[in-house]
Amino acid sequence: MMANRLVGIRGQLGRCFSTSGSLFQTVKSTSSDSPSVLVSPPIHVFGVEGRYASALFSAASKQNKLDQIDADFQKLDNLLSKNKSIADLFRNPGVTREQRFALIKDIGLSDMTRTTLETFIDNRREKRLTKFVSVMNRLMSANRGELICRVITAKPLDTKLRGELDSVLKQFSKKEEKLNVETSVDPSIMGGMIVEIGDRYIDMSIASKIKAYTEILTSNV
């Protein structure tokens, strides 16, 4: 059954961006070389998180701080994914602005990343922080010539299924890209898998199907 899910990935996988002016003014380059002109990111990223990520990438690129920003967001991703309580603190409405700022300072990030996150919070985007970190890491991976793919399954994949999965996913990477597949287990999806590759998100979990069927049945009552 899992093998059938792998086959289904192929079919389901198969613009310009704008930036936040206020954020860009906050983290813009101090360089005299056309500071108002954005440096285009290696991939298009969308939504609120994409606008922040694009502005930060441009500013960091102009100041030759991309490696620093890359390290910061890998650190943030690791921290938020392994410490749910910290991620919850950013979403908790009972936590004050000053407490969130103090937490960011304690993490030990570069000034540019810290300023960006403080702007993010000042604009009341803290509930989108985890998504922003994910988008920024995807952008930085593309800058390194990598294509990040995250796969969630209800139970660990055996060697054979993992090989079949990698074979299918490689078809969606460019020749010069290095495919970086991260797998995790979440029993709550009940079966099937959830795949996030580049800017594509495919939910083939049994849990999502049950939810969809339930909503259909409920709406007909």
CATH number of the domain enclosing 88: 1.10.520.20
Mind listing the pLDDT tens digit for each residue in 70-91? Answer: 999 999 988 888 887 888 888 8
The pLDDT, as a whole number, for residue 1 is 55
The pLDDT, as a whole number, for residue 20 is 41
In one-letter notation, the amino acid at residue 102 is A
Q: State whether 132 and 83 are in the same domain.
A: yes
Q: 42 in a domain, yes or no?
A: no
Q: 156 in a domain, yes or no?
A: yes
The pLDDT, as a whole number, for residue 76 is 93
The pLDDT, as a whole number, for residue 200 is 80
Q: 76 in a domain, yes or no?
A: yes
**Cα-based distances in Å from 110 to 2, 10, 66, 73:** 43, 40, 11, 10
110 or 33, which is more confident?
A: 110
The pLDDT, as a whole number, for residue 68 is 95
The pLDDT, as a whole number, for residue 40 is 83
Q: State whether 149 and 162 are in the same domain.
A: yes
Total number of domains in the chain: 2
The pLDDT, as a whole number, for residue 133 is 92
Could you say which of 81, 112, 143 is where a domain stops?
A: 143
pLDDT bucket at 2, cuts 50 / 70 / 90: low
Q: State whether 171 and 208 are in the same domain.
A: yes
Mind listing the pLDDT tens digit for each residue in 164-206? Answer: 988 888 888 888 888 888 888 999 999 999 998 877 888 999 9
Could you say which of 94, 110, 143 is where a domain stops?
A: 143
Give yes or no for residue 13 having a pLDDT over 70: no
Could you say which of 94, 112, 143 is where a domain stops?
A: 143
Mind listing the pLDDT tens digit for each residue in 115-168? Answer: 999 999 889 888 889 889 988 988 998 898 888 888 999 999 999 999 998 888
**59 with 19: CB under 8 angstroms?**
no
Report the alpha-carbon distance of residue 131 to residue 150 in Å, rounded: 14
Consecutive H or E run containing 13: helix 2-13
Q: State whether 59 and 138 are in the same domain.
A: yes
174 or 51, which is more confident?
A: 51
Which of 51, 67, 65, 198 lies closest to 132, judged by CA?
Answer: 51
17 or 182, which is more confident?
A: 182
Question: What pTM value is reported for the model?
Answer: 0.63
Q: 35 in a domain, yes or no?
A: no
Mean pLDDT score, 4-17 = 43
Q: 105 in a domain, yes or no?
A: yes
Give yes or no for residue 61 having a pLDDT over 50: yes
Q: State whether 56 and 111 are in the same domain.
A: yes
pLDDT bucket at 43, cuts 50 / 70 / 90: confident
Q: 34 in a domain, yes or no?
A: no
Q: State whether 109 and 64 are in the same domain.
A: yes
Report the alpha-carbon distance of residue 106 to residue 29 in Å, rounded: 25
**10 with 197: CB under 8 angstroms?**
no
Q: State whether 67 and 82 are in the same domain.
A: yes
pLDDT bucket at 14, cuts 50 / 70 / 90: very low
Q: State whether 161 and 131 are in the same domain.
A: no
Q: State whether 179 and 138 are in the same domain.
A: no
Q: State whether 139 and 54 are in the same domain.
A: yes
**133 with 107: CB under 8 angstroms?**
no
Phi, psi of 46 (to 5 degrees): -120, 170
Which of 114, 107, 131, 160 lies closest to 50, judged by CA?
Answer: 131
Q: 189 in a domain, yes or no?
A: yes
Q: 167 in a domain, yes or no?
A: yes
Q: State whether 124 and 169 are in the same domain.
A: no
In terms of residue numbers, what domain contains 110?
Answer: 48-143
